[in-house]
Amino acid sequence: MVVLAAKVAMVRGTSGTQVQEVFRSLAGRWRPSVRLAGLIAEDHGLADRACSAGFLRNVTTGERFSIFHDLGPGSSACHLDGMGALAAAEAVQRDIAAGCDLVLLSKFGKLEAGGKGLFNAFNAALDAGIPLLTSVSPAQEEAWKALAGPAYIILPADLDEIGTWWQTVKKASMPADSSASL
């Protein structure tokens, strides 16, 4: 039996684009009542490119960070811009330090596996013990396990199941007497 009170959840089971759409929907649903920090990936929208890395949007401020170099149509090289990802990570670290209930980070990928990109934002959330929701590139699962340890669960890209996880985590983190009526 999976313990749904694990504070760290990894979403998988569908395309990266679909996971980001789920994250956008959740952020929109949660933003009015949950202090969110984090980033959601957005496609660059350019045709005929080898990889889809585009932008990271800060869920707190709406700021958009470019994480790609446009190498032109037909390029077969991946065009990740690590500097843009680092700037996005720094913004999230500030948001975490300012206080939040949940950190939503779009993806743990090859930059993060190498200790770059959003790696420091992941570390900040884990070190602070703040609930974290993310996705992980299948090729980087071993590096993810090394960072997150065994204390995470895997969830499908389903709004209701992720919502149930969040409600369980939120309830488990409330002080025992906070729900008692006087």
31-45: per-residue pLDDT in tens?
Answer: 999 999 999 998 765
Residues of the chain with pLDDT below 50 are: 1-4, 177-182
The pLDDT, as a whole number, for residue 173 is 77
The pLDDT, as a whole number, for residue 128 is 95
pLDDT in tens, 76-106: 556 666 788 899 999 999 999 999 999 999 9
One-letter-per-residue 3-state SS of 161-182: HHHHHHHHHHHHHCCCCCCCCC
Domain layout of the chain by residue ranges:
8-173
pTM of the model: 0.86
Tell me, which fold does domain 8-173 have in CATH?
Answer: Rossmann fold (3.40.50)
- Asked if 117 and 82 count as a contact pair (C-beta separation under 8 A), the reply is yes
Cα 69 versus chain centre, distance: 22
The pLDDT, as a whole number, for residue 181 is 35
Burial class for 94, CB neighbours closer than 10 Å (0-12, 13-18, 19+): middle
Contacts of 117 (CB under 8 A, 6+ apart): 67, 80, 82, 85, 86, 89, 109, 111
